[in-house]
């Protein structure tokens, strides 16, 4: 007979039988709180919903070009609902200063959280992210993202949500150990396959087409019965490109691991002397937000 005992040090149950030692891992607090995909609408705290409504109303009044992304765009294109602590607002970098000044003039505290891509507007415990591109510096929001957006309503406020192509592009580099948006991208392929402009998506991802190919393989693995949701010409194009690179490897090609996860691939850069494209892309990304937002009240 086996006797089970909980070990606080290991966070698991163990048997007292040495030869049959088995561990049953107990989820940590953070793991228990990870989101589970569902179509059930989340319940927002009244203060949070009021802040979101106010920010959207003010942005509409300001005339600043913006589009909603994050959980609200995912719901629009996939039907998946997700509880969210923040509201993701995508704005071209040249317009962020104006948006911050307008929101600050109406009682919000504004700050630049990352000069490459992120500013924040907050009041109390709730905040809105003003996003101008990817944290890697590889993709930047521009006016076309606003023009191509999908009309919608969020909390009864008329807005535009990010188009499915831009939503995919915005999630392409969310590939870290602690967060991976591959399932979101697969769900957009599944839910919006009949609306996708593949030529535009290929233009958006540009030189990073292999990352798109990676996500397409994940989609096909997840939904083998829906392989034809992806146009055959897209499969053929990417397969031909990929095979060509395999058959003709470039020994001088840049290491790209840091673009996937700069922490997990840190040893390659710090100890093995490989090129850090993550920092290079971030350094080259212009304009940087402090140039626009050092004094948003001015």
* DSSP output for 20-56: T--EEEPPPHHHHTS---BSSPP---HHHHHHHHHHH
Spans in the chain with pLDDT lower than 50: 1-26, 298
- pLDDT reported for residue 15: 47
Under the phi-then-psi rule, with left for phi > 0, alpha for psi from -120 to 50, and beta for the rest, what region is 175? alpha
Identify the H or E element spanning 202. Answer: helix 198-205
Backbone angles phi, psi at 27, to 5 degrees: -60, 140
- pLDDT reported for residue 280: 97
Cα torsion through 26, 27, 29, 33, rounded to 10: -150
Question: How many other C-beta atoms can be found within 10 angstroms of the C-beta atom of residue 154?
Answer: 19
- pLDDT reported for residue 84: 83
pTM here? 0.87
Domains of the chain: 46-293 (3.30.460.40)
**Terminal CA-CA length for the chain:** 75
Task: State both tokens at 108.
Answer: 């919000």
CA atoms of 119 and 93, how far apart (whole Å): 10
- pLDDT reported for residue 28: 54
CA atoms of 94 and 110, how far apart (whole Å): 16
- pLDDT reported for residue 82: 86
- pLDDT reported for residue 16: 46
Contact criterion met (CB below 8 Å) for 119 and 110: yes
CA atoms of 106 and 54, how far apart (whole Å): 10
Question: What does the chain come to in residues?
Answer: 298
CA atoms of 294 and 155, how far apart (whole Å): 31
DSSP helix, strand, coil percent of the chain (3-state; round to 5): 45, 15, 40
Tokens 């599944």 belong to residue = 190
Collapsed DSSP state (helix, strand, coil) of residue 194: coil
């Amino acid at each position: 007979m086996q006797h089970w005992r909980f070990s606080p040090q290991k966070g698991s149950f163990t048997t007292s039988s040495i030869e049959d030692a088995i561990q049953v891992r107990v989820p940590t607090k953070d793991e228990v709180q990870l989101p589970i995909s569902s179509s059930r609408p989340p319940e927002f705290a009244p203060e949070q919903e009021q802040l979101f409504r106010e920010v959207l109303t003010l942005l509409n009044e300001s005339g600043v070009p913006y589009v909603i992304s994050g959980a609200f765009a995912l719901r629009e294109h996939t039907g998946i609902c997700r509880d969210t602590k923040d509201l993701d607002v995508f704005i071209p970098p040249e317009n962020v200063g104006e948006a911050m000044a307008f929101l600050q003039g109406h009682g919000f505290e504004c700050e630049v959280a990352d000069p490459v891509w992120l500013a924040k507007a907050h009041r109390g415990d709730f905040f809105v992210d003003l996003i101008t591109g990817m944290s890697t510096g590889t993709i930047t929001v521009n006016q076309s993202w606003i023009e191509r957006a999908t009309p919608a309503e969020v909390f009864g406020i008329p807005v535009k949500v990010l188009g499915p192509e831009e939503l995919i592009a915005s999630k392409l580099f969310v590939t870290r150990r602690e967060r991976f948006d591959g399932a979101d991208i697969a769900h957009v392929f599944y839910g919006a396959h009949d609306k996708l402009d593949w030529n535009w998506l290929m233009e958006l991802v540009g030189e990073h087409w292999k990352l798109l190919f990676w996500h397409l393989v994940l989609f096909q693995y997840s939904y083998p019965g829906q392989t034809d949701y992806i146009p055959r010409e897209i499969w053929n194009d990417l397969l031909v490109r990929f095979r060509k690179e395999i058959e003709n490897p470039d020994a001088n090609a840049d290491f790209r691991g840091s673009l996937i996860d700069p922490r997990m691939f840190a040893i390659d850069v710090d100890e093995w002397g490989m090129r850090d494209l993550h920092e290079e892309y971030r350094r080259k990304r212009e304009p940087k937000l402090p140039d626009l937002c050092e004094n948003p009240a001015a």
